[in-house]
C-alpha cells in the first residue's frame, strides 16, 4: 500500500510533464493554424502574417541589394517603402546607393529612354517604358502596330496571338468615339495596355492567361477581326476604330472590363511594375481583385510584398487541409487534457476520501450481533 501511494504521484507527475511538453509544442502551431485560416479570405491579413515571418532584416538587405544590382530602381524603392511600413531599418550604404540612382537627372534620363523604347516597340520591362506603351495605345497607334504585326505573322503562315489581337481590337474601340456605348470607362484603357504587354512578353501566369483568353473570346467577334486588321494594315486609323467597335460584343465585356479596371487600380497605387508583378502571381480575376485591394492598403510597397510572398500575399499556399489538420490535432489534445485532468481529480478524491464499497456496507448491515453483543441472543419464551 505504501509503495502504491508513492508510485501514483510519481506517475501522475510524469504524465503532467509530458502533457505540458506536448502542449508547448502543439498549441502554438494550432493557434497559428487558426490565425491563418481566419485570414484566408483577407489579403491584407495574409500579407501581414506572411511579412511578419518572412521579411527579416537579412532578407530585406538581400532583396534590396539584388534590386540595385539589377538596376531595378522601382523595386528598390518599393522595398524601401515596405521597410518603412514594417519598421525595419534600411542599411545606410544601400540607402545611399538608392538615393544616388534617384537623383532628378538620373531619373529623367532613364525615364525618357525607357518611355521612347516602350512607345516605339510596344514592349517594356520598366515603369516608364510601360507608360510609353500606354501613351502610344491611347492614340491608337500602338494597337494598330500590334494588329499589323500579328497580321504579318498570319501572312507568313506563323501562329498569331489571338489574345493580343483581341486586346488590340478592344483598345482601339475604347479610344474611339463609341467608348460610352461599349460601357468601358477610360481608366480601363491603361489596364488593357498592361494586359496586352504582359501577354506579348509572357509575364503573366498561365492560369490567368487562360482566363484572359476566355474573356477576350467572349468579348470579341473573331470573325469580324479581319476587317479591323485589314484597315490597320492600310494605316486607316478611323476605319480600324470603326471596324474594331463592330467586332466588340458590349454585353460580354463584363469580365474583361473588371480585369482591366483592377489592373488599372494596381498600376495607379503600386506603379505599373507592380501591376506587372500582380499578373505573374494572380490566377484569375478574383486574384486580381485581391491584389487591387492589397495595393490600396500597401501602395508603392505592393510590388515588394508580392516579391517576398508571391501568391502567399493573396491566398493560402500551405494548404487549408494541413492547417485544418493542425487545428484538429490541437482540439484533440485539449480534449485529452480535459479527460486526464478529470481522471487526476477523481484519483486524488479517492485517495483523500476513500469510499467503502457496497459489499462492505452490506456485510456490516447483515451482522448486527458483532456491533451489539447484548442483543445477540434473544431468550425463547
The domain segmentation of the chain, as residue ranges, is 1-40+319-351, 101-318
134, pLDDT greater than 80? no
In angstroms, how far is CA 148 from the centroid of its own chain? Answer: 37
Q: Is the CB of residue 316 less than 8 Å from the CB of residue 33?
A: no
132, pLDDT greater than 90? no
pLDDT at res. 45: 85
Percent of the chain with pLDDT strictly greater than 70: 59
Nearest to 247 by CA among 233, 268, 269, 227: 227
Q: Supply the pTM of this predicted model.
A: 0.69
Cell triple for residue 123? 514592349
pLDDT at res. 375: 45
209, pLDDT greater than 70? yes
pLDDT at res. 160: 72
Please compute the mean of the pLDDT values over residues 106-111 and round it to a whole number.
70
DSSP secondary structure of 187-253: THHHHHHHHHHHHHHT-S-HHHHHHHHHHHHHHB-GGGHHHHHHHHHTT-HHHHHHHHHHHB-GGG-
182, pLDDT greater than 60? no
Count Cα neighbours of 309 within 13 Å in the Cβ-side half-sphere.
Answer: 33
Please compute the mean of the pLDDT values over residues 185-197 and round it to a whole number.
75
Q: What is the mean pLDDT of the chain?
A: 75
pLDDT at res. 126: 61
CA dihedral 254, 255, 258, 262 (to 10 degrees): -170
Residue 191 banded pLDDT, cuts 50, 70, 90: confident
Q: Is the CB of residue 154 less than 8 Å from the CB of residue 98?
A: no
Nearest to 15 by CA among 343, 293, 300, 261: 343
What is Dmax (Cα atoms) for the chain? Answer: 143
pLDDT at res. 224: 66
Amino acid at each position: 500500500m505504501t509503495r502504491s501511494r508513492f508510485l501514483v504521484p510519481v506517475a501522475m507527475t510524469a504524465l503532467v510533464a509530458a502533457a505540458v511538453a506536448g502542449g508547448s509544442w502543439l498549441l502554438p502551431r494550432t493557434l497559428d493554424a487558426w490565425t491563418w485560416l481566419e485570414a484566408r479570405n483577407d489579403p491584407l491579413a495574409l500579407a501581414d502574417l506572411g511579412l511578419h515571418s518572412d521579411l527579416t532584416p537579412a532578407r530585406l538587405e538581400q532583396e534590396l541589394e539584388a534590386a540595385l544590382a539589377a538596376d531595378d530602381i522601382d523595386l528598390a524603392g518599393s522595398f524601401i517603402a515596405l521597410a518603412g511600413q514594417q519598421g525595419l531599418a534600411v542599411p545606410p550604404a544601400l540607402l545611399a546607393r538608392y538615393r544616388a540612382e534617384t537623383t532628378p537627372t538620373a531619373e529623367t534620363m532613364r525615364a525618357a529612354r525607357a518611355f521612347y523604347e516602350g512607345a516605339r516597340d510596344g514592349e517594356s520591362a520598366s515603369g516608364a517604358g510601360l507608360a510609353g506603351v500606354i501613351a502610344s495605345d491611347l492614340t491608337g497607334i500602338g494597337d494598330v502596330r500590334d494588329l499589323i504585326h500579328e497580321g504579318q505573322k498570319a501572312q507568313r503562315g506563323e501562329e498569331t496571338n489571338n489574345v493580343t489581337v483581341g486586346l488590340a481590337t478592344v483598345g482601339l474601340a475604347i479610344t474611339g468615339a463609341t467608348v460610352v456605348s461599349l460601357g468601358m470607362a477610360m481608366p480601363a484603357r491603361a489596364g488593357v495596355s498592361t494586359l496586352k504587354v504582359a501577354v506579348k512578353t509572357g509575364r503573366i501566369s498561365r492560369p490567368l492567361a487562360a482566363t484572359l483568353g476566355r474573356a477576350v473570346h467572349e468579348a470579341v467577334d473573331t470573325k469580324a477581326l479581319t476587317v479591323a486588321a485589314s484597315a490597320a494594315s492600310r494605316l486607316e486609323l478611323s476605319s480600324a476604330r470603326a471596324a474594331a467597335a463592330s467586332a466588340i460584343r458590349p454585353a460580354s465585356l463584363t469580365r474583361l472590363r473588371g480585369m482591366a479596371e483592377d489592373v488599372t487600380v494596381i498600376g495607379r497605387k503600386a506603379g505599373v511594375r507592380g501591376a506587372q508583378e500582380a499578373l505573374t502571381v494572380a490566377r484569375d480575376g478574383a486574384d486580381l481583385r485581391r491584389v487591387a485591394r492589397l495595393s490600396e492598403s500597401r501602395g508603392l510597397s505592393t510590388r515588394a510584398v508580392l516579391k517576398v510572398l508571391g501568391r502567399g500575399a493573396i491566398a493560402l499556399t500551405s494548404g487549408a487541409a494541413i492547417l485544418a489538420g493542425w487545428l484538429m490535432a490541437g482540439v484533440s489534445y485539449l480534449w485529452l487534457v480535459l479527460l486526464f485532468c478529470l481522471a487526476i481529480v477523481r484519483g486524488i478524491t479517492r485517495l483523500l476520501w476513500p469510499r467503502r464499497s457496497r459489499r462492505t456496507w452490506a456485510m456490516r448491515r447483515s451482522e448486527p450481533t458483532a456491533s451489539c453483543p447484548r442483543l445477540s441472543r434473544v431468550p425463547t419464551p
